[in-house]
Structure 1
Amino acid sequence: MDPVVSPGMSPGQRIKLYRQRAGLTQEVAAQLKGVTASAWRKWESGERSVNTLGDWIEIARILRVRDLYRLTGMPVGQLPDEQAEHESVQPVRAALHAYAPTLDGPVDIAALRRAITWAWNTWTSSRHRYSRTAPLLADLILTTRATLAASSGAVRRDAERAAADVYLLVRSFGKRVGAADVAYLAADRAMSAARAADDPAYRAAAGWNLAQVLSNRGHTEESALMCEDAIRDVEAASGGGPAEMALAGSLRLLLAVQRARLRDERRASEAIEDAARLAAITGETTYHRTFFGPANVGIHRAAVVLELSRTGEALRLAERVDVGDLPSVERRYSHYLQLGRAYAIRREDLAAVHMLGRADRESPEDSRLNLVMRATVRELLVRETPTTRPDLRGLAERVGVI
């Protein structure tokens, strides 16, 4: 018999109702979906939105619900859409898989380095980073692969370091445009290049990137293990300097988030405090394009608490972090988006719209691609008021929700 669903029930309440009808625990339902139990709990509590139509369909299958409207409470036209593949992905993917690129001239590591630096600076600092970075990536990948093939001896190690930097950039790009295959392949190649260069700092940076990919795909335990292995590796390196310390700190911040998702609050707190001690020594750093320092520790403190479902505390922590001087557009955007999401969970919609608007001003292109942004805007639209409507409708148009 179908359970009684009242019109005012939220999507999370409906998921919980139908899960209970199906006789499933949150842990079993999460396992069937291929997500952590923490992620499933957040769907039911409303702390996290179901971001894609594909996820809704899979949840309906697991809970044996035939009518998607009864499960979601939303007409089909209001359900989230799938993230379309960005138009820049195909040439990047083709460059990664090209059979045997060759150089037109002699090996020139210095010129390759200049091109890599330009691409990275554009990616981290431009408000239009997708449209300006994407056209550079395919040629950069092909040149890097050809340079590796033509290099030997000491020059080969320099070429491997350059390759690691290129693939770390491609990993970050692939993640943001929803190209999971590109992100994973790039992260794996970055790790191979770092190992070939026999450079502990590069291995640590590659480990952080690969752990990011694992985390994004829901492999929380594997991501945590990758962080732990990379921390041991970089800290065992003789003569570890500021770069190694900063990378160990970045790995600990990512580890803290994974432990929070695994509901291991004690070890998550330990990882954050270890990172804070390192940040007090290093200050704000940008080694290997991983941004580490006191501000990033503050951002992750709030993120960990939010993962542990303490929204009010997460907001208090996040509101004290000043990200205005951070050189990374992505860090500033993510911070404002996290604040907007936390306000939305607490139904402080005016503050949520304000913070989402700040995120959108940092990087309009991110807003059109980010599924959390789009899902949160949809959620706010459902309960819009005359006070939120003017700014919310404008934001919804800019991100492509209406």
Structure 2
Amino acid sequence: MGTPLPGVGARIRRYRRMTGRSQAVVAGLCGVTERYLSLIENGHRTPSPDLLVQLAEELAVSVAALLSDEAPRSRPTTLTADRGVVRALLGGATGGRVRSPGELRDRVESAWRIWQSSAARFTEAEPLLGGLVLDVEATVRGTADAADRREVLRSAADLYGLLRSYCRRAGRLDLALLVADRSRRAAEDADDPIRMAAAAWNFGHCLLSQEDGAEAAAEVARAGVSALDSAPSGAERTAMVGALELVRVTADAQQRRWWEARARLEDRVFRLAGAVGEGNVMRTVFGPTNTYLHALSLEILAGEGARGLRLADKVNVSALPSRERQFTFVLDMARGYHLRREDAAVLVHLLELERISAEDMVRSAPATSVVTGLLDRARPTYRPQVEALARRLGVV
């Protein structure tokens, strides 16, 4: 079987994880079994020269990068949050004023509308968020009336939920965890079980973004479902249970528990989604469409591109209130076609991603990874379009 090449397996594993793809996906693209790729990554097998070239192509790095410590081609993901937002969150800014509960509620709702619906949501939301943080914190401290204070705390919980998404998309997972904790504390102080569940959902997504965070995310989601026992029965409670169950589905998928994830979707989540219909309770976008999107993501993560694309035929994302979820759906479609090496379809979906939100695209490592992979193998007929897209994203 040949002498293992020092460090090559570990480098393959590191670059594979950088693309956000599982062993099953990369193995399938390269025509080997998941077990064989696992043996290579753990240093028990040596890839043939041809397989090494295939792996380098799929991981968008040079062969030299797999054989040495040469840095791979960088991806143009933006990993910084706006300085004013960071200073407001970390106490480096002053100037907040006490506002009325109604004014804060209107401003938080407006920020959420921008965040979920605008193609330029980073550009439009960032100038608002820092000052809103300062005013919310000043109003929490300066409001004595119990009823008014509870309303302000609800606005604080909602704002920090938005900031969790913003910080995560900006690549600041440290700040995402910070604001998720603030959202939880505000919801608890407001004694609002639905917002407490939303805070658990936020925490779960933070943990899912971290390597080896899936098990902790599942535990947070389980605790969030249990906490909803104190919430009144109704559509909001059902939707939040469903949203938390989807966190558990994703956690199962990240741990390669494919059948457990599929069973939870079929036996529990689709039933909950059918009971509440399409909605956006606490900005979770939980409903049948979002559940199908998670089913699609599961199959892509499992390396089942064809199965995932069949699921996509059941989805119409045009009415979803969240542009982010629309973006995720089209990205999964692009990744599904990438698995099948249907490059013309990959390009069509990448251009649609750019239309939905170019700002999100340059911040998405999976999206830019698909672009670099397509750039390396694009046919002459559409290579100019791929190169133009790569230049717009800063890949070349």
Under a length normalisation based on structure 2, what TM-score does the superposition of the two structures give?
Answer: 0.83
Q: Give 1:281 shift.
A: 1.6
Q: Give 1:151 shift.
A: 2.0
For the residues of structure 2 that align with 1:178 and 1:2, how far apart are their CA atoms?
40
1:301 corresponding residue in structure 2 = 295
1:44-100 CA deviation, whole Å, 9 max, x = no partner?
5559xxxxxxxxxxx999x9xxx97434489979713464444x5221111012179
> Structure 1: which 5+ residue stretches go unaligned?
6-13, 48-58
- Checking the alignment, whether the CA contact within 8 Å between 1:246 and 1:278 is kept in structure 2 is yes
Number of matched residues?
368
1:53 corresponding residue in structure 2 = none
Q: Give 1:34 shift.
A: 9.4
2:122 corresponding residue in structure 1 = 130
1:168 corresponding residue in structure 2 = 161
Secondary structure, aligned partner of 1:292: coil
Does residue 140 in structure 1 map to residue 132 in structure 2? yes
1:317-372 CA deviation, whole Å, 9 max, x = no partner?
12331111112110111100111011112111111111111111111111121111
**Residue 391 to residue 99, structure 1, CA distance change in 2 (3 Å):** closer
**Residue 41 to residue 280, structure 1, CA distance change in 2 (3 Å):** closer
For the residues of structure 1 that align with 2:233 and 2:220, how far apart are their CA atoms?
20
For the residues of structure 2 that align with 1:75 and 1:168, how far apart are their CA atoms?
39
Amino acid at match of 1:140: L
2:315 corresponding residue in structure 1 = 321
Match of 1:179 among 133, 153, 172: 172
For the residues of structure 1 that align with 2:223 and 2:273, how far apart are their CA atoms?
20
Amino acid at match of 2:215: E
The equivalences for 1:135-284 within 5 A come to: 135-152=127-144, 153-218=146-211, 219-234=213-228, 236-273=229-266, 274-284=268-278
**Residue 82 to residue 38, structure 1, CA distance change in 2 (3 Å):** closer
Bigger RCO (CA 8 Å, 6+ sep):
2
Match of 2:85 among 86, 89, 92: 92
Q: Give 1:380 shift.
A: 0.5
Q: Give 1:264 shift.
A: 2.3
Amino acid at match of 1:268: A
- Checking the alignment, whether the CA contact within 8 Å between 1:38 and 1:261 is kept in structure 2 is no
For the residues of structure 2 that align with 1:99 and 1:75, how far apart are their CA atoms?
38
Amino acid at match of 1:310: E
- Checking the alignment, whether the CA contact within 8 Å between 1:38 and 1:262 is kept in structure 2 is no
For the residues of structure 2 that align with 1:202 and 1:46, how far apart are their CA atoms?
42
2:52 corresponding residue in structure 1 = none
**Residue 269 to residue 4, structure 1, CA distance change in 2 (3 Å):** closer
For the residues of structure 2 that align with 1:369 and 1:259, how far apart are their CA atoms?
25
The equivalences for 1:109-128 within 5 A come to: 109-128=101-120
Q: Percent identity?
A: 31
Amino acid at match of 2:193: P
Q: Give 1:240 shift.
A: 2.2
Does residue 343 in structure 1 map to residue 327 in structure 2? no
TM-align CA RMSD:
3.5
**Residue 370 to residue 187, structure 1, CA distance change in 2 (3 Å):** same
For the residues of structure 2 that align with 1:179 and 1:46, how far apart are their CA atoms?
31
Q: Give 1:310 shift.
A: 1.6
**Residue 396 to residue 289, structure 1, CA distance change in 2 (3 Å):** same
Amino acid at match of 2:234: G
Q: Give 1:43 shift.
A: 4.8
- Checking the alignment, whether the CA contact within 8 Å between 1:368 and 1:374 is kept in structure 2 is yes
> Structure 2: which 5+ residue stretches go unaligned?
31-40, 46-60
**Residue 102 to residue 39, structure 1, CA distance change in 2 (3 Å):** same
Secondary structure, aligned partner of 1:217: coil
Amino acid at match of 1:210: F
1:98-150 CA deviation, whole Å, 9 max, x = no partner?
1795654x540100011101111011111111100011010011111111111
2:51 corresponding residue in structure 1 = none
Amino acid at match of 2:134: L
Under a length normalisation based on structure 1, what TM-score does the superposition of the two structures give?
Answer: 0.82
| Bigger Cα displacement from structure 2, 76-85 vs 340-349 | 76-85
- Checking the alignment, whether the CA contact within 8 Å between 1:333 and 1:360 is kept in structure 2 is no
For the residues of structure 2 that align with 1:81 and 1:102, how far apart are their CA atoms?
37
For the residues of structure 2 that align with 1:112 and 1:161, how far apart are their CA atoms?
10
Match of 1:388 among 365, 382, 388: 382
